Amino acid sequence: MVLEGKLVVLREEKLSDMETFVGLRNDLDTQAWSKALPPDYTLPMYQQRFNEKKFSYDRSSARFTIEHKETKEIVGTISYDEYEERFSATIGIVTAKKFWGQGLAFDAQETLLKFLFTELGVRVVRIWTQSGNIGAVKLAKRSGFKISGRIRKSTYLHGNIYDNLVADLLREEYFQLHPELQDNLPAI
């Protein structure tokens, strides 16, 4: 499955992408979580994860490689999981630092949101981050997410303690932000 945005393409993962993903996961700036200090994700771990899943997309969860449309470079990865049929999903996104500030993460996030709301018919999408990840918080808010939960002082990163945040975007909010799209599901 391929989802096409304005600047990026979201495509199924390839085994050759795993080395890039290991680098992203082991970089505390791109990972933005302190669960593993020091980070210890290895290429064989990612290769095993890749090999254990027949496809990187199925209806209940998906992992996509974010590829720059023009240069074909790997920008990062975006995924959804915790999918509840026609109800909700949780997304996650990681992009390489060299692509920060270019609108690529926003385009990838908007492309996935369009798929989740228009194709899968979800009613709410959630995203988790931490309060020190200013870029992720801004990205979420730019797409219309609202902070809906906070777990105070729960993440230690770079010598600081941050709050974990959950933000959500409701179906009606998404379609208000995108009047060019039609919501074909009845309101509840």
Domains and CATH numbers, the chain: 2-177 (3.40.630.30)
Q: At 94, is the secondary structure helix, strand, or coil?
A: strand
Higher per-residue pLDDT: 51 or 162 = 162
What's the whole-number mean pLDDT along residues 124-129? 96
What is residue 45's predicted lDDT score, i.e. its pLDDT? 84
Per-residue confidence band for 57, with pLDDT thresholds at 50, 70 and 90: low
Higher per-residue pLDDT: 124 or 57 = 124
Per-residue confidence band for 185, with pLDDT thresholds at 50, 70 and 90: confident
**Contact present, 10 and 112 (Cβ < 8 Å):** yes
What is residue 5's predicted lDDT score, i.e. its pLDDT? 98
Contacts with 184 (C-beta within 8 Å, 6 or more apart), sequence order = 118
Per-residue confidence band for 102, with pLDDT thresholds at 50, 70 and 90: very high
Quote the percentage of the chain above a pLDDT of 70. 93
Q: At 178, is the secondary structure helix, strand, or coil?
A: coil
**Strand boundaries in the chain, DSSP class E:** 2-4, 8-12, 57-58, 61-68, 74-84, 88-95, 124-130, 146-157, 160-170
